[in-house]
Amino acid sequence: MFKRELPFLNRMTNSNRNSVTRVWDEKCDKGWAQLMNLEHEIAVNYLLAQTGIEIPNNASVIDVGCANGWVLRKLVDEYKIAYGLGLDLSNKMIEEAREKSSEYKMLDFKVDGWEDIVKYSLQHGLFDVILGVESIYFYGSVVDNIRNAFNSLKDGGYLGLNIECYNENPDSFKFDERVGATLLHYTIQEYLPMINDAGFKIENIRSFKCHYPLEREFESWLNTYGTLIIVAKK
């Protein structure tokens, strides 16, 4: 139960599930799965290695908005996780993830999103880590998404979020048009009560600036404003 009523808590994206699926199926056809890997890799590496998030040996991990599954393959190769579940609302992203991960028998991929993770925690048991790389604000209620994450984690489990569309990053509003959806650009101070009131303890929060050469002008914000990284513990 939330400790206080705040007007922003009822905000929801006007993108419905079908429209998100359509948009990202189209982007997958244009090679965006690999583009997401290239644009997010540095910030994801920072999230995993330098924020205090703990990924135990033989961990079970959900990656929500997994695209072609590159984060989960990285976690198998470098962190030796025992089971990884990738969820994405794009049918074509999941098809590509399954193809690229065919030799990773410990990985599974489903066409689903944040609203579905509790279902999988009931099927597979509670998870050690839940990751969301630029996905938590694409569809539905961010408040509900965070609460679902809390209810799907083991005690001591971690939620790791990489957030590129947030209010302090004015360039991120251009991303709505780029992907054809209206996204939720919360402020950093708005994220804090949503995470705390779900029951989490925030372990780390910062704007991470990548500082690397970028070929496309629309990516300049990665160096100017950075990715908002939040790590919270149950």
Query: For domain 16-233, is the CATH number 3.40.50.150?
Result: yes
Alpha carbon 127 to its chain's center = 15
Residue 10 binned pLDDT confidence (cut-offs 50, 70, 90): very low
Instruction: State the angle between helix axes of 17-29 and 91-100 in degrees (0 to 180), rounded to the nearest 10.
Output: 50
How many of the other CB atoms lie within 10 Å of CB of 188? Answer: 16
Its sign, for the CA torsion 215, 26, 186, 60, is negative
Tally helices (H) and strands (E) across the chain.
9, 7
Locate the domains of the chain by residue range: 16-233
Mean pLDDT lowest among 91-95, 102-106, 164-168: 164-168
pLDDT in tens, 12-66: 454 566 777 777 677 766 776 666 666 778 889 999 999 999 999 899 999 999 9
pTM of the model: 0.86
In the chain, the amino acid numbered 109 is F
Name residue 206's beta-bridge partners. 229
Average pLDDT, the chain: 84
Question: What confidence score (pLDDT) does residue 158 get?
Answer: 98
